[in-house]
Amino acid sequence: MVAAAIDLQKISKNFGSLVALHPTELTVSKGEYVLVIGANGAGKTTLLRLVAGVSRPSSGRVFICGKNLRTNAENRAKIGLLTHHSMLYEDLTAEENLRFYSQLYCIKEKDLKIEHSLELMDLNRWRHRKVSGFSRGMRQRLSIARAIIHNPSVLLLDEPYSGLDPTTRETLQKLLLELKTHGHTFLMATHRLEDAAPLADRVIVIETGQIIVDEPWQGSASELAKLFESRKERTL
Ligand code: ATP
């Protein structure tokens, strides 16, 4: 049997007395494109950070491609994480940041990969500029390039469209579609339903730290918004 790309076993997260994520079971098959939606503070980022292993769960276990993330640190290379924290080094240039991450992941043909990544997110003209002088959109472009430079099979994307101009959103959309075609697995949290709906094949709605909807998806952004609103009303 092929191991699931993501397997969460009773994973939960508390911040003091606040339950950000109730014990949650979730299995995502290889190649699935799962959209995570929910109101502000619902627990989407918390979920993604737990799956990535950058936040320690209060209980439960995370398996990536069949291996426990905690005891198989090398498995982290299978993950590409994009969050609100850019994970970029301010004093390094765009190119130096990509070089740092390509070394961290022991990528083969580093120069080629760096060139490709800069090209992909149209960063060439800013490649020698320090990140400290980057605009929000420039940072987001570089963060995307950084998140995928090691060709991770599992992509955890938190608001990937945030701060991008329309042309770059389109570029990102094409890139995500291409990665999906090549069998990558996605867990994407976003409020931009119009961008996310066409790519998703499963949708999860989170409300106050609990998954209240988990179903296959092929609909439009407006149908997604309706689903979100109707399920929310049912839980109130
Ligand atoms: P948004 O759509 O606004 O990004 P979200 O669904 O991603 O929201 P989370 O960031 O996961 O929401 O937050 C879930 C809950 O956990 C919120 O109540 C938030 O205030 C709380 N929370 C998140 N991180 C921390 C932290 N480091 N310390 C304390 N509480 C936190």
Asked if residue 60 lies in contact with residue 13, where contact means CB atoms within 8 angstroms, the answer is no
For 9, phi and psi rounded to 5 degrees?
Answer: -115, 105
Taking residues 187-215, what's their average pLDDT? 94
For the record, the structure tokens of 87 come out as: 């994970």
Distance between CA atoms of residues 95 and 98, nearest Å:
5
Predicted local confidence at residue 221, as pLDDT: 80
Cα of 16 vs its chain's centroid, Å = 26
Predicted local confidence at residue 230, as pLDDT: 73
Predicted local confidence at residue 234, as pLDDT: 56
Q: Is the dihedral of CA 8, 218, 46, 171 positive or negative?
A: positive
Residue of 13, 21, 45 with the most ligand 1 atoms within 8 Å of its CB, for mutation:
45
List 27's β-bridge partners, or say none.
Answer: 7
Q: Ligand 1 pocket: which residues have CB below 6 Å? A: 15, 18, 20, 38, 40-46
Predicted local confidence at residue 226, as pLDDT: 82
84 pLDDT above the threshold of 80: yes
Per-residue pLDDT tens over the stretch 19-45: 999 999 999 999 999 999 999 999 999
Taking residues 102-116, what's their average pLDDT? 92
Taking residues 165-184, what's their average pLDDT? 95
Per-residue pLDDT tens over the stretch 117-141: 999 999 999 999 999 999 999 999 9
Predicted local confidence at residue 235, as pLDDT: 53
- Tell the residue nearest (CA) to atom 29 of ligand 1: 15
* 43 Cα nearest atom in ligand 1: 11
Which amino acid would we find at residue 229? E
For the record, the structure tokens of 81 come out as: 């994480």
Full strand arrangement of the beta sheet holding 154-158: 79-82, 154-158, 185-189, 33-37, 202-207, 210-216
Distance between CA atoms of residues 160 and 141, nearest Å:
9
Q: State in Å: Cα 71 to ligand 1 middle.
A: 26
Per-residue pLDDT tens over the stretch 210-226: 999 999 988 788 888 88
